[in-house]
Amino acid sequence: MDYISIIRKFIDPIVSNSEAVMIRQMPSESDKDLTFVICCEAEDTGRLIGRHGITADALREVISIAAKDNHQRVHLKFESFGEETDSI
């Protein structure tokens, strides 16, 4: 199952800049546990997490339902691109 395309279908309408979103699968020791990291701009990360994590919890629940058919568990982590500043 292509979890990245499923995740993208749900997050693209939420974020303001969908072209800046990167989704990658992290290596795991088990085929049953899959971890995906969603990297985007800080403003969009806030939108994906939502107030008190409500949006993130809903995304995790929907993706987990899709994964149950394959007897897998999907974990989502959210990160934002940091702005690098040069300190002199």
Residue 12 lies in a domain: yes
Residue 87 lies in a domain: no
Residue 84 has pLDDT above 90, yes or no: no
Exposed, middle or buried: residue 35 (CB in 10 Å: 0-12, 13-18, 19+)? Answer: middle
> How many of the other CB atoms lie within 10 Å of CB of 11?
21
Total structural domains in the chain?
1
Residue 26 lies in a domain: yes
Element holding 49 (H helix, E strand): helix 42-49
Render pLDDT for 28-37 as a digit per residue (tens, 0 to 9). 888 899 999 9
Residue 85 lies in a domain: no
Q: What is the pLDDT of residue 83?
A: 55
Residue 22 lies in a domain: yes
What's the CATH number where 76 sits?
3.30.300.20
Question: Facing residues of 87 across strands?
Answer: none
Q: What is the pLDDT of residue 50?
A: 95
Residue 85 has pLDDT above 70, yes or no: no
Higher pLDDT, 88 or 81: 81
From 1, 2, 23, select the one nearest 12 (Cα to Cα).
23
In which residue are the tokens 């992290």 written?
26
> 26 is in which domain, residue-wise?
3-80
